[in-house]
Amino acid sequence: MVGGLTKKCRDMACKLYDTIIIETVAVSSLEAAEATKILENVYRCINIAMVNELKMVFDRMGIDVWEVIRAASTKPFGFNAFYPGPGLGGHCIPIDPFYLTWKARQYGMPTRFIELAGEINTYMPHYVIAKTMEALNEQSKSLKGSKVLVLGLAYKKDIDDLRESPSIELIELLREKGARVDYNDPHIPKTHKQRQHDLRMTSKKLSAKMLGCYDAVLISTNHSYYDYDWIVKNAKLVVDTRNATGAVRRGRSKIINA
């Protein structure tokens, strides 16, 4: 998506990008180019918030939101599937839409959809912690003092990017509640200092014995690397925020969807 301060600027930028990009789309101004990116991020932010809210509602009703999304996805038109999770991550969706809310206020315009979506998505790590506490309580355990292993630190599967990752907030919330927390991520061997966070942690090596030492294993990022059948087999309790264990039948009673 290319805009320019002048038409000549835009055309020169397009010629450059045309040599390396599959498709270059020119728009009339810098503002239109930026607004296009904002629209895409807002679209995803709002739709992810919708399915996150539905996940919480359907969970209370005893309905599997993942089954519902699969069924709705069979409609050949008018529906795009979005999926719930433990919160938003990355450098775009959790941040960019709120540049627009800030700017809109300068024009006296409220952005209620965007702000409500932000509230829902920001709440999701707290929802996951509440579900983890409930699951431990069913086993007559308190979260305080429990050992919890967070699987996946990156904000989405199969990458090494942890910017704004919900896993970070999950770890911090677990620590605040008194849990002893470790993590494993094959793509992130150790954490580094960030703008607002400094976990100072290293990834723990997985083994059957090691998994069995934790009171709960919390799947935050569904990396392809993980053998979920093996994880469920060896863990005492699995809290799954990504439906990563959806195909696993063994030990379903110890899998909690969050």
Query: Nearest to residue 135, comparing CAs of 144, 123, 143, 125?
Result: 143
Tokens 């959809």 — which residue? 113
Q: What is the DSSP letter of 206?
A: P
Answer for the pair 89, 155: CB distance below 8 angstroms, yes or no. Answer: yes
Say if strands 255-257 and 147-151 run parallel, antiparallel, or are unpaired: unpaired
Active site residues: 92
Extended strands (E) in the chain? 147-151, 180-184, 216-219, 238-240, 255-257
Place of tokens 């630190």: 153
Q: What does the alpha-carbon distance between residue 125 and residue 209 come to, in Å, rounded to a whole number? A: 28
Q: Residue 181: beta bridge partners?
A: 148
C-alpha to C-alpha distance for 35 and 178, rounded to whole angstroms: 43
Distance CA 195, CA 12 (A): 35
